[in-house]
């Protein structure tokens, strides 16, 4: 077996070359972060987090899937964030941190030990800042970043290397713009994360057809895209995702929404609060999506649709009609889940049916 990389823990996660680390933290602090109760009190200290299979006696792990209950019984972790139904299976010496939401608790405890690095205030010597841009003194502007005229960069923002913040763009407090990202024609709320390579605010795919172009040959005439992109607080925009600005209206990404990598959002699309759009999904122009809706990977939505709150669009679905609030649809063309699987069952029976004699 290859030797351990320098600087890494024996069982823990979070290579210190890449991830900030805090701690050690006492049991009470860890339990408070997980919003968990502790059946057995103690003054133990914990140094980090790790998977059940490799965690040591000074590390915290979690269990959120009953399929791995056997791993809980065998773990050497010092504490495990666990559901009440499985708390009794924690081995001797392992403190159960009991909560009805173990995965949420894990997220918060992992963030306790590995907080996001703060901004390092200042503008790199190789950054370019146009006149009349307003940059809060607590913000960090990385090398070769470009800040356009009239842009406003809020407190504690981080703008990565080679990122472009266009003229007039507004970044609220604590935004993080990844390396190589481009943000134009946009207003971002607080704590928005834009991952590397994302493109926000470019022209939408809008054009008219002129049937009598030069020489009588039809041509496409661009329609000016005069809207903006508005992104609410705590939204997260994945790497290489593209969000077109609006044409005559604004493109809106609601507060708390999560867009995975390689997502395409067309002009005038409006996402509600806490929507989830998974990798390689595409949403065509002027479609409206209600609060807490989910669009799974590689789904495609045509334009001018209305997707209700808490609706769920299955992976690779082709959505060509409105979807009601709370409805689950799959398939292409998309249809309610029960209808889809009923049709699949009928087709399977037809395919397996033996032909009658003489019918070939």
What domain range includes position 271? 181-339
Residues 226 and 335 reside in one and the same domain: yes
Question: Is 128 domain-assigned?
Answer: no
For 111-127, what is the mean pLDDT?
A: 95
What is the model's pLDDT at position 348? 87
Helix segments in the chain, DSSP class H: 27-34, 69-74, 102-113, 337-352
Give yes or no: residues 320 and 189 share one domain.
yes
Whether the predicted pLDDT of 6 surpasses 50: no
- Between the CA of residue 320 and those of 120, 279, 299, 302, 331, what are the distances in Å? 47, 19, 11, 6, 11
Residue 174 covered by a domain: no
Number of domains in the chain: 2
pLDDT at position 107 is 96
Domain identity same for 78 and 201: no
Catalytic site residue 267? yes
Is residue 9 pLDDT above 60, yes or no? no
pLDDT of residue 10: 47
User: Do 297 and 215 belong to one domain?
Assistant: yes
Give a yes or no: residue 257 inside a domain. Answer: yes
Please tell me the number of Cα atoms within 13 Å of 40 on its side-chain side.
13
pLDDT at 5 over 70: no
Q: How many CB atoms lie within 10 A of CB 54?
A: 16
Tell me, yes or no, whether 176 lies in a domain. no
- The residue from 113, 135, 169 where one domain ends is 113
Is residue 271 domain-shared with residue 195, that is, in the same domain?
Answer: yes
pLDDT tens, 53-108?
A: 999 999 999 998 888 888 899 999 999 999 999 998 999 889 999 999 999 999 99
187 shares its domain with 103: no
My answer on whether 300 and 186 are in the same domain is: yes
Which of 64, 65, 33, 63 is closest to 46 using CA atoms? 33
Question: CATH number of the domain that 227 lies in?
Answer: 2.160.10.10
Structural domain contains residue 274: yes
Is the same domain home to 97 and 193?
no
Burial class (CB in 10 A: 0-12, 13-18, 19+), 43: exposed
- What digits encode the pLDDT tens for the residues 255-270? 999 999 999 999 999 9
**241 and 325 both lie in a single domain:** yes
Give the H/E segment covering residue 318.
strand 318-319
Domain boundary among 84, 113, 142: 113
Residue 211 included in any domain: yes
* Residue 143: inside a domain: no
SS3 34: helix
What pLDDT, in 10s, does the model give residues 304-319? 999 999 999 999 999 9
Domain boundary at 81, 113, 145, which? 113
Mark whether 69 and 205 lie in a shared domain. no
DSSP letters spanning 150-168: T-EE-TT-EE-TT-EE-TT
In a domain, 347, yes or no: no
* CATH number assigned to the domain comprising residue 104: 3.40.1390.10
132: left (phi over 0), alpha (psi -120 to 50) or beta: left
**pLDDT (tens digit, 9 = 90+) per residue, 287-297?**
999 999 999 99
Residues 211 and 91 in one domain: no
Cα 64 to Cα 9: distance, rounded to the nearest angstrom: 24
> Please, are residues 229 and 247 in contact by the beta-carbon 8 Å criterion?
no
Residues 79 and 197 in one domain: no
Which whole number is the average pLDDT over 4-15?
58
Pairing of β 207-210 and β 219-222: antiparallel
Pick from 234, 233, 162, 238: which is nearest to 200 by CA?
Answer: 238
- The predicted pLDDT at position 193 comes to 98
Per annotation, catalytic residue among 124, 162, 267, 304: 267
- Taking the chain, what is the end-to-end CA distance rounded to the nearest angstrom? 60
């Amino acid at each position: 077996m290859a030797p351990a990389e320098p600087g890494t823990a024996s069982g823990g996660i979070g290579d210190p070359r890449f991830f900030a680390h805090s701690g050690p933290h006492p049991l009470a602090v860890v339990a408070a972060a997980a919003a968990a109760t502790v059946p057995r009190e103690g003054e133990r200290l914990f140094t980090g987090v790790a998977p059940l299979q490799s965690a040591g006696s000074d590390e915290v792990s979690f269990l959120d899937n009953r399929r791995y209950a056997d791993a809980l019984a065998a773990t050497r972790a010092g504490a495990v964030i666990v559901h009440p139904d499985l708390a009794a299976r924690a081995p001797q010496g392992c403190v159960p941190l009991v909560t009805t939401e173990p995965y949420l608790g894990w997220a918060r405890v992992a963030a306790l030990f590995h907080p996001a690095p703060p901004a390092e205030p200042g503008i790199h010597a190789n950054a370019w800042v146009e006149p009349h841009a307003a940059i809060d003194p607590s913000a960090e502007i990385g090398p070769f970043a470009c800040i356009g005229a009239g842009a406003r960069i809020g407190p504690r923002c981080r703008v990565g290397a080679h990122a472009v913040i266009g003229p007039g763009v507004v970044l609220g407090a604590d935004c993080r713009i990844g390396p190589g990202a481009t943000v134009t024609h946009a207003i971002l709320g607080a704590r928005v994360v834009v991952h590397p390579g994302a493109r926000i605010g470019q022209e939408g795919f809008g054009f008219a057809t002129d049937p009598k172009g030069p020489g009588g040959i039809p041509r496409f005439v661009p329609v000016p895209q005069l809207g903006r992109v508005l992104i609410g607080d705590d939204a997260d925009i994945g790497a290489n995702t593209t969000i077109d600005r609006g044409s005559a209206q604004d493109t809106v990404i609601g507060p708390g929404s999560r867009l995975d990598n390689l997502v395409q959002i067309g002009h005038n699309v409006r996402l509600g609060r806490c929507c989830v759009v998974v990798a390689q999904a595409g949403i065509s122009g002027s479609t409206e999506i209600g609060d807490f809706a989910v669009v799974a990977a590689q789904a495609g939505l045509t334009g001018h649709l209305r997707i209700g709150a808490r609706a769920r669009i299955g992976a690779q679905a082709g959505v060509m009609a409105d979807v009601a609030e709370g409805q689950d649809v799959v398939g292409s063309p998309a249809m309610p889940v029960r209808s889809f699987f009923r049709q699949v069952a009928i087709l399977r029976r037809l395919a397996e049916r033996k032909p009658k004699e003489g019918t070939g």
